[in-house]
Amino acid sequence: MSGKIDGACLCGEIRYEINNRFDQLYFCHCKQCQKTSGSVYLSNLFCEVGSLSWLSGENLIKRFDYPGREFSNAFCKMCGSGVPYLNANGTAIVVRAGSLNGKPIVETTSRIFYAERSQWADECETANTYARFPWGA
Ligand SMILES: [Zn+2]
Ligand SMILES: [Zn+2]
């Protein structure tokens, strides 16, 4: 037994609630996730179908299905944030982990499509760390 966790896009128009019990957290390094995120990888949680309830803004969701590979993206038309969607074969709900407003309870965490990782992915592991901007603002 576990409770619910809620999530939202950046502008707050799209809000949802989902069971806080995820089979998988995938840090996906595939080429499509690099483009979609504009970054090194996407953080995707997988959850069983039927566990999600939209609280608001479902009409603002835009979906994109990439041709030739099982890859989809769904995002807020207002702010561009990734939001949950049903995967292409209808077997799972994919949730952008960063859209959650709390800590997900996850069974297994993995990096996937690591062979496709960006050429600068390895450098992220050794980057300098600052609480805010490096100039102290
Ligand atoms: Zn939004
Ligand atoms: Zn991917």
- Condensed to tens digits (0 to 9), the pLDDT of residues 43-84 reads 999 999 999 999 999 999 999 999 988 889 999 999 999 999
Look up the pTM and report it: 0.91
Residues with CB under 5 A from ligand 1 (ion): 9, 11, 13, 76, 78-79
Question: Quick one: CA dihedral 50, 4, 80, 124, positive or negative?
Answer: negative
What are the tens digits of pLDDT across the range 99-114? 999 999 999 999 999 9
Q: Say how many Å lie between the CA of residue 135 and the centre of ligand 2.
A: 34
CA of 100 to the centre of ligand 2 (A): 19
What domains can you pick out in the chain, each with its CATH number?
Answer: 4-124 (2.170.150.70)
How many residues are present in the chain?
Answer: 137
Distance (angstroms) between ligand 2 centre and the Cα of 28 equals 4
